[in-house]
Amino acid sequence: MSRRLEIARAYEQALFAGDRAAVGRLFRDDIVYWVAGAPPLGGEWTGRERVLDALWNREPGLGAADWGSEDVWRDWHDAVDRVIVEIRERSWLNSAPHDIMDQRTCCVIRFRGDQIAEMRDYTDSHIYQEFLKRHRAELPKFRGK
């Protein structure tokens, strides 16, 4: 396993564990995080603290809510200056467990040295838009908007 792949997997592990400090140590000061789609579902965040805030506040996508989810698969690919992870996951609001989003995402993690310099998240925001139409009132990020 390459050093890049080790770092990318450590990032995901720290993120899922809620360890903001560990995630931050893996980022360059000038990291750029881009998520496909127009705001408020997608957008771009720049700088370590701003990217950490976006991740912790669940700014991309449908935001923080009472979610359930399951991983279907994750395929990791090591390239020259990046790691690519293809993800298929299912998620749902615990208040609507039969309305399941079956989402496929491709995340490109670019490196400079032993730190993450850029993350590009290619998620099908159309799936989020359709889910939002059905569940706007249950999603705190969109209530009253």
Domain of 27 in residue numbering reads as: 3-142
pTM of the entire predicted model: 0.93
Number of domains in the chain: 1
CA atoms within 13 A on the CB side of 144: 2
CATH number at residue 26: 3.10.450.50
Residue 144: is its pLDDT beyond 80?
Answer: no
97: left (phi over 0), alpha (psi -120 to 50) or beta: alpha
pLDDT tens, 22-75?
Answer: 999 999 999 999 999 999 999 999 999 999 999 999 999 999 999 999 999 999
Q: How confident is the model at residue 145 (pLDDT cuts 50, 70, 90)?
A: low
Q: What is the pLDDT at residue 97? A: 97
